[in-house]
Amino acid sequence: MKNRGVDNPSERRVVAVVSVYRPGHDVVDNVARIVDQVDHVVVVDDGSGDGFDEVFSELTAAGARLVVLQANSGIAAALNAGIEAADLDRSDVVVTFDQDSNPPAGFVARLLDVLRESEDAGLPVAIVAPATFAGVDQTGPELASGLREALRPIQSGMLVTGSALERIGTFDEGLFIDLVDVEFYLRALEAGLVSVAASGLDLPHELGHFQSMSVLGRRVSTTLSSPFRYYYRARNRVIVTRRYRNIAGPLLRRERNRDLAHFVVAVAFARPRPALVTVLRRGWRDGRTGAGGGIPSDLNDTASSISWRGQRVERPGHTA
């Protein structure tokens, strides 16, 4: 992190970091949209391996800088590599995106407007995030007149200030994936910094896939992730809850209970069910011991054996 001592917002550089893994060609259009909205785009390939040279060439032709990690290191490490490559000053900002993020025109400009409004109101800003993500509300209490908190905002579409990165550091690579954004939000909160929601702004996104099946004559539907992700969700929930329960106990208890309810439903959908139970138990155990990094290879094999019962269906209210 540079420190040129520049605090004039008019001199602020806006950088986007996009993490990709085995991307398809649709990522090129997404990145081109982002290129049009910021000063500089860094695309970080998180260890995709061979076979993606054509996509990477198209990304660089679209105006992005490419950083290639030799091994799959997780979303936190990928974002940190992009932040390091961007060589940010404390007055700069970075906006982070997933490879399937497709921000509408004016998305980043709206984040910057809210950042300026927040700074003018005297708020110590770490994060500005869209008020809704894939239509899901992520706003909390009012921080100042017309400005509401962004409550545990999702990483994709999140603006982070260089001053916050200088003060609290970058993303926790030990978490690998899942709750990386929540941990950063809570670390900022612990440091006395705030996260602000950009009202009226939404980032379209696909949240896993929507699965439906019949149970005792009743139709049950839920959003499911890839089976291996349940290891990280279980493990990191334990780690994050223990780390920040003193500053956000009620929020973390609600989130933990919501996860537990979802895990019960996910087990009902899993085939074979004992395999997903094993994945969850190992996640809880490793969370209690504080283990970090990627999923153990034997457990990844177990997760790879899991499929979902029922049928994949379109999410209610979703339009193509």
How confident is the prediction along the chain (320 residues), in pLDDT tens digits per residue? 554 433 445 579 999 999 999 999 999 999 999 999 999 999 999 999 999 999 999 999 999 999 999 999 999 999 999 999 999 999 999 999 999 999 999 999 999 999 999 999 999 999 999 999 988 899 999 999 999 999 999 999 999 999 999 999 999 999 999 999 999 999 999 999 999 999 999 998 765 565 666 655 666 777 888 999 999 999 999 999 999 999 999 999 999 999 999 999 899 889 999 999 999 999 999 999 999 999 999 999 999 999 988 777 665 554 33
How many helices (H) and strands (E) would you count in the chain? 9, 15
CA distance 280 to 283: 5
3-class state of residue 18 by DSSP: strand
Instruction: Name which CATH class applies to 9-203.
Output: alpha beta
Q: List where CATH 3.90.550.10 sits in the chain.
A: 9-203
Q: Name the E strands within the chain.
A: 14-20, 40-46, 65-69, 93-98, 125-133, 136-137, 139-144, 147-150, 158-161, 194-203, 209-215, 218-224, 270-271, 307-308, 311-312
Read off the amino acid at residue 180.
V
